[in-house]
Structure 1
Amino acid sequence: MASTAASASSMPSGRLQTAGPGGRWLIRIEHRLEAERAQLPLWMPVALGGGIAAWFALPDARGWAAFLCAALAVALAGMVLPGHTRIGRAVGVGALLAMLGCMLIWWRAERVAAPVLARPAVVRVTGRVERIEPLPARELVRLTIMTDPVASLPRRSPGSGREGGSATGDVSRLDSDPRQNRQAAALPPRVRVNLAVPDLPAGLATSARIALQARLMPPASAAVPGAYDFARVAWFQRIGATGRGFAPVEVVAPGDPGNAGLRTRLTGHIVSRLSGSEAGIAAAFVTGDRGSIAEDDAEAMRRSGLAHLLSISGLHVTAVVVATMTVVLKLLAMFPPLALRVRLPVVAAGAGACAAVGYTWLSGADVPTVRSCIAALLVLAALSIGREAITLRMIATGAFLVLLVLPESLAGPSFQLSFAAVTAIVALHEHPRVRGWFLKRDEGTARRMARGLMSLLLTGAVVEAALMPIGLYHFHKAGLYGALANIVAIPLTTFVTMPLEGLALTLDAVGLGAPAWWAVERSLSLLLWLARSVAAAPGSVAALPAMPDGAFAAMVAGGLWIALWRTPMRRWGALPLIAGAVWALMTPAPDLLVTGDGRHLALRTVDGGMAILRDRAGDYVRSVLGEGGGVEGELPPLEDQPGVACSPDLCVARRDGRTIVATRSGYPVPWNELVAACAKADIVVSDRRLPDGCRPRWLKLDRAMLATTGGVAVSLRSGRVVTAKRGGRHPWEVPETIAPPRPPYRERRVGRNGGVSDAAR
């Protein structure tokens, strides 16, 4: 009886009554979870995010439904584990949250559904201006327009394709004259156009109704595997077309600028007080407008690991809140009767909360700013009730709330970078050993400063290690010296530049801000010098080709395991973390990259670089192909490489025993020559539909094939082929499209060899 009582008392709270090896394993897990019971709530946003990630990763509705059924089965299994133990509750709740995440993002994607432009077209756009984004560095202004509805033009059903397929109904037109139809074309409900600054009407404000001619195109999918998928981002923003607008722009009705007008005026005021990229960075700190920053300086900020300073997030919101609380506390403490009767810290926290909300509203309420505002409000609430403010539970609560409201943000780098950084910082300083290292001590000034410097250095190194996989996955590059640069840049921004800028704006009210603006410009010049110096340092950037999704998922899982547990079992997180890192590093860079339109390709050179087919390609195409190939620097012309022969219309290259043929102009190649070249080639690439007689030995990547596969990455030695489109059925991959009528007559032109080609081809 005594032994029975002793064994019963040693059982966990759930009283596991199982025997055998399986029962012993359950008992061990139960003991582990009992020791980590305070950490279990931290996994709630992880489970919710896991369901969201599964929806993005799985291809279609059958996969999503299968995931929901599997999660439900796991939840039911958790309920029937012996004794309703902690492990059963954890498994059940985690599975239910994963189900919730998958259903939430599925519902959200369907809720924001809006038709997408079927094909590029020149149309007349009429509608209400929703947002104005100045881009002075590019001499452009970006307008987001809510278009006027026109219901009489055909729409294509989801899955019918943007170029092919039939409309869902009869083609009805507004007028029998096709030229009038072109003027009254139905458009997606929201479009985004860029205007040259001289073409912008004076006094244009948000909510104004305008009319203009524009060349629009559907939101672009990823150009090559692993590249930025704007079509997905545009879907959740309900943007159905983007393009370039032309003068004249007619203002049909004036608008009310509201907070956007205040932002525009404030940005203009800041830019007028400073010059160059310093003006753009100063405006970014206050209004979030980065359009005045020169592209070279923006790239230097990215390469040096300082780009996070340009996005209004936790650093900026924290600086505003702390400054507001400090000023309010100092002012109220000057009145002793008030200080004796009122809890001044609570009043200051309320003022800080108002400042955080106002700053978020002023800066345009972008997703990173909203996340930071939510976190700041949670910290202020904890301070007001006397709780520890900055903890992993607060971070988990913020992440959970953001995912409930904006589940699609999980797939974006902004969410991942911000929460990874703050989680790494808090987890590091909650570790007992690290906390012991940096506790305040009664010691000399030199030792105290050295301890603070080591704390900053260690924190920066851990943050860079946490952010590097995310940067490499999304941008294919990551700064290596960011920890050192941030040791100087973050204090400089937080304690010098932003307070000086606030002082300058305040003094401008009485016309005395010039000295403060001079100091602001000097501090920003120092920041830019730091960014340029770090970016130019040898080996400042690590470049990597497109990372496999599985490798990234393994590193994220390992990092979360290490950060969220507290007992020695956290060390097991090193296994998936190392496995994912090795997997990513061992993934070979592609030898051939082809964009989804077939116009551009990059081929691996003998020295390991990438050479581009069309040397007149734009900067965006060059950067996409360079990042996809994991190379830094300029891409030389393909025709200058050894083993490559090019004519004005065709290039033939030989690499690793393979022959690649690519068309490089819009002129037709004589049929006999083209068929003969195809027969000798392993891979043929073209931005046009090639004849059936063109039969290469391996891959025929013409317009028809690339419309199905999207961009393609090929490893010539291993024969590995990766496509940007993987047969998924997410809403942005098979959207409902809306098709403006075509021009009444197609322009035709005479080719170089006498053939006639369609200009729309």
Structure 2
Amino acid sequence: MNDISRAAEREERGRDLSSRVFPLRIRGLAEALSAALEQEQALRRPFLWRVVASGGGVVLYFSAEREPSLALSLCALAAFAVLAGLTRRHARAHALFLTLAFIALGFASGAWRTARVAAPVIPRVGIGELTGFVEEVDLRRAGARFVLRVASAEGYPDDVIPSRVRLTTRGEPNFSAGDFIAFKARLMPPARAALPGGYDFARDAFFARIGAVGNALGRIETMPPPEPAPFSLRFFAHVDRMRNALAMRVYRIIDGDAGAIAAAMVTGKRDLLSEDAKNLIRRAGIFHIITISGVQMTLVAGIFFVGFRRLLAMSQTLALNYPIKKLAAALAMLGAILYDIGTGSRVGTERALVMTLIMLAAVLFDRPSLSMRNLALAALFIIAFEPEALLGASFQLSFAAVAALIAVYEWRGEYLAKRRIDDRAPRGRWGALRESVVERLLHGPGAAIFATLCATSATASFMAYDFHELSPYVLIGNPLTLAIIEFFAVPCALVGAALYPLGLDGFIWRYLKLGIDLVTYLAGLIASAPGASLPVAAFAPWAILFLSLAVLSLVLWRTWAWRALAIPLALIGLMGARSGAPFDLAVPATGESAALRLPSGQLAVMGQKPSAFAAEQWLRADGDARQSADARSGVACDDSGCIAKAVNGRFVGLVTERGAFLEDCGRVAVVITRLYAPLGCAAEIVIDRRRLSETGAVALRFKADGVEWTTARAIDEDRPWSPAPRNRRTSGFTAPLSDEERSAEDARAMEPLE
């Protein structure tokens, strides 16, 4: 009993000690976080998180199932802004209302942007006559793609006249940007997502005011316009003609994929590149070499800044009496704007331009040019004027990479300042080793590799989420890309464009070819290496939110007490990435094809002529590296449709002819069709034109206790780029069609899809 009593007494003392120590630890942690927060406030870091809050407001706007009221959104913004101003003397209340004001800013900017760009969208496939001004032409090796600002449209469904359309022509175009043309065209609505949570071209097309896509049919006639084109259209059309002329000049001199890469690096025109070349540079992790990115924009601005400053310094009068550094920065801003216009002024380039202009403006106002605050201002500008860009991979990758590089730069400066203070402090063996490692990370090639590693790590989650792949050899590919851009692409683009009007540019492009041949050779070695591209299956959408917050915690906070929050956030995000269950059946909104998981566990693409883009989306989301052409085995097809056995042992049928319903409805478990299925179809699951109009793309997972559905459209969703079915919008439900209406709709559905 004595031993038992002593043991009980020790246990009681342990609990008592724990009860006293645990609150002390909690109190100590809270005090440490509070002290770290004060330090963060002294460094003005909370402002960066308010910009993040405005981005959260944009995400909330696009998550809404129905279009929010613009008036209410603006009222909420005004109310929170007023409350934030009234509570300036109350720190906590002020911080709360200011954060809510930033969230409302992002939400209201989304509603305002939608109202500003709203334009008609063609409801279904139709053939008619078009006239309008050509805004832009992208030449291809065979044919071209062009954007038309529509002046008139006749013969299309519901007499809809879209504002802009994007079309392709198979022959060599006999027109150029700025011409007024008339022709017959087959138009269709912009494609919606082929998979729930996948890329939604219809949304991007809406914000580009593109109301239809399609093909030009027959002869395209150029004619005098009924009225002169607006000045802005004539200006940018002239720029596009010059870009095409320069791109074709570069392409003809260099030829082949090397010439296409050179044309893309110089002018931003990428349509000359073959699919094989795109896959090569993508597997090597250097796809951004053919885009006008922030690296090019920064280098161009830097060349202008240094060049103008050197020229101004040659004048003693200017150098001694005027701020030539600020004059050079102003001239560099002008040069960066002209470079942006000359390369097409696309969304990705515009973001790089905003960031560059803010950095140069910091020079004008004697502020640090490279800081996280300037990056936040650039992000805030985009949130205010192009909020839809936040959902795109370009914004996510570019800002994550630049934020990581700035965070490394800030850490480097902080470490060097601390080392200068503690330079005389004694160091042991481990301290000397640490100093040696850090020294190699701060200077020389190690610094570039370390910065690339940090930028790559910051963008890894976005690469996995947006493209379903990771490139392990990016540490080799990125420095290679930077070298090519610095020593070949940017200098050749500037000098070659200046010499092109004089006809003396030929040797410039031959010099550029040397660098491109080198990078394509090394890219081939990287792409052929084992594990050059690691496929990543799709993961839960909420996981990317936690992974993004983890990255932001690492790059925005300056104290390690708050940076440590990245660990639990990353763990939650990785759990979501692992919990993203693969689908067993995917059907696009058109219903003309499908992806089915076979008993072998692999996906098979069903359809007579399935969309290559949709098939690629399905395979990538499943973590499958195969090409769409290699995923057709296991499916039997004829003129009436396709049939295959699913992973659960049941049969799935894809019906393309009405006569096949009689047989397939009685023998398969799932019927998929772009037609209206008979009301008496006996299949367990019927995915037809009616259902897909309500759900959009669907993904099914077969379970022992039933079927798990995931749809691209939410229940009763009605957004401008994803409108509700017309019957549902007016009556609240989808009414049955009459036999005549069903036959007419089926006839439209039987038209060949592109």
Query: Normalising TM by the smaller chain, what interval?
Result: 0.7 to 0.9
- In structure 2, how many angstroms separate the alpha carbons of the residues matched to 1:75 and 1:337? 49
**1:632-689 residue CA offsets vs partner (Å, 9 max, x unmatched):** 1134677743xx7666645544444341321354362262x334214xx2x2222322
**1:63-101 residue CA offsets vs partner (Å, 9 max, x unmatched):** 9999999999998998999x9543332221010111121
- The alignment partner of 1:117 has SS state of coil
Contact persistence 2:599–2:648 (CA under 8 A) = no
Q: Indicate which of 575, 578, 585 corresponds to 1:585.
A: 578
- In structure 2, how many angstroms separate the alpha carbons of the residues matched to 1:372 and 1:637? 38
- In structure 1, how many angstroms separate the alpha carbons of the residues matched to 2:571 and 2:284? 25
Farther off after superposition, 52-61 or 251-260: 251-260
1:475 is aligned to 467
Q: 1:605 to 1:464 in 2, by over 3 A?
A: farther
Q: CA deviation at 1:315?
A: 0.7
- The alignment partner of 2:215 has SS state of strand
Work out whether 1:191 is the aligned partner of 2:179.
Answer: no
Farther off after superposition, 59-68 or 352-361: 59-68
2:671 is aligned to 684
2:387 is aligned to 407
Q: 1:205 to 1:95 in 2, by over 3 A?
A: same
**1:566-588 residue CA offsets vs partner (Å, 9 max, x unmatched):** 12122112211221122112312
- Corresponding letter in the other structure for 1:283: A
Q: 1:505 to 1:435 in 2, by over 3 A?
A: farther
2:120 is aligned to 115
- The alignment partner of 1:226 has SS state of coil
Q: Indicate which of 184, 197, 207 corresponds to 1:226.
A: 197
Q: CA deviation at 1:391?
A: 0.4
Farther off after superposition, 650-659 or 62-71: 62-71
Work out whether 1:383 is the aligned partner of 2:363.
Answer: yes
Q: Which has the higher contact order (CA 8 A, sep 6+)?
A: 1
Q: 1:153 to 1:377 in 2, by over 3 A?
A: closer
**1:376-416 residue CA offsets vs partner (Å, 9 max, x unmatched):** 12111222333221100000011111211112211222111
- Corresponding letter in the other structure for 2:482: I
Contact persistence 1:317–1:372 (CA under 8 A) = yes
Farther off after superposition, 585-594 or 605-614: 605-614
Q: 1:379 to 1:62 in 2, by over 3 A?
A: closer
2:20 is aligned to none
Give the gaps of 5 or more residues in structure 2: 1-25, 424-434, 727-739
- In structure 2, how many angstroms separate the alpha carbons of the residues matched to 1:637 and 1:460? 35
- Corresponding letter in the other structure for 1:687: R
Q: 1:515 to 1:482 in 2, by over 3 A?
A: same
2:731 is aligned to none
1:570 is aligned to 563
- In structure 2, how many angstroms separate the alpha carbons of the residues matched to 1:143 and 1:665? 32
Q: 1:76 to 1:684 in 2, by over 3 A?
A: farther
- In structure 1, how many angstroms separate the alpha carbons of the residues matched to 2:751 and 2:499? 58
Work out whether 1:663 is the aligned partner of 2:663.
Answer: no
Contact persistence 2:656–2:675 (CA under 8 A) = no
- In structure 2, how many angstroms separate the alpha carbons of the residues matched to 1:99 and 1:296? 45
- The alignment partner of 2:252 has SS state of helix
- In structure 1, how many angstroms separate the alpha carbons of the residues matched to 2:493 and 2:154? 50
Farther off after superposition, 211-220 or 381-390: 381-390
2:22 is aligned to none
Q: CA deviation at 1:486?
A: 0.4
- The alignment partner of 1:713 has SS state of strand
Structure whose residues are more often helix by fraction: 2
Q: Indicate which of 142, 146, 149 corresponds to 1:143.
A: 146
- Corresponding letter in the other structure for 1:476: H
- In structure 2, how many angstroms separate the alpha carbons of the residues matched to 1:645 and 1:131? 43
- In structure 2, how many angstroms separate the alpha carbons of the residues matched to 1:392 and 1:674? 61
Q: CA deviation at 1:422?
A: 0.5
Q: CA deviation at 1:350?
A: 2.1
**1:554-611 residue CA offsets vs partner (Å, 9 max, x unmatched):** 1112211222111212211221122112211231211222222222112224554321
Give the gaps of 5 or more residues in structure 1: 1-21, 156-184, 738-744
Q: Indicate which of 707, 731, 735 corresponds to 2:693.
A: 707
Farther off after superposition, 350-359 or 429-438: 429-438
- Corresponding letter in the other structure for 1:674: D
Contact persistence 1:603–1:611 (CA under 8 A) = yes
Q: Indicate which of 288, 306, 321 corresponds to 1:326.
A: 306
Q: CA deviation at 1:484?
A: 2.1
1:368 is aligned to 348
Q: CA deviation at 1:618?
A: 4.3
Q: Indicate which of 503, 508, 519 corresponds to 1:527.
A: 519
Q: 1:657 to 1:512 in 2, by over 3 A?
A: closer
- The alignment partner of 1:716 has SS state of strand
Q: CA deviation at 1:123?
A: 0.8
Q: Indicate which of 610, 621, 629 corresponds to 1:628.
A: 621
Farther off after superposition, 505-514 or 558-567: 505-514
Work out whether 1:104 is the aligned partner of 2:104.
Answer: no
Contact persistence 1:33–1:86 (CA under 8 A) = no
User: 1:109-508 alignment to 2 at 5 Å?
Assistant: 109-134=114-139, 136-137=140-141, 139-149=142-152, 155=158, 186-198=160-172, 200-201=173-174, 204-253=175-224, 256=234, 257-431=237-411, 435-436=415-416, 451-508=443-500
TM-score norm. by structure 2 comes to: 0.82
- In structure 1, how many angstroms separate the alpha carbons of the residues matched to 2:565 and 2:256? 50
- The alignment partner of 1:300 has SS state of helix
1:35 is aligned to 39
1:17 is aligned to none
Q: 1:61 to 1:617 in 2, by over 3 A?
A: closer
Contact persistence 1:603–1:638 (CA under 8 A) = no
Farther off after superposition, 232-241 or 85-94: 85-94
Q: CA deviation at 1:693?
A: 2.4
- Corresponding letter in the other structure for 2:718: R
Contact persistence 1:195–1:245 (CA under 8 A) = yes
Q: 1:70 to 1:404 in 2, by over 3 A?
A: closer
Q: C-alpha root-mean-square deviation of aligned residues, in Å?
A: 3.8
TM-score norm. by structure 1 comes to: 0.81
Q: CA deviation at 1:62?
A: 6.8
Residue correspondences, number: 684
- In structure 2, how many angstroms separate the alpha carbons of the residues matched to 1:549 and 1:449? 35
- The alignment partner of 1:240 has SS state of strand
- The alignment partner of 1:598 has SS state of coil
- The alignment partner of 2:337 has SS state of helix
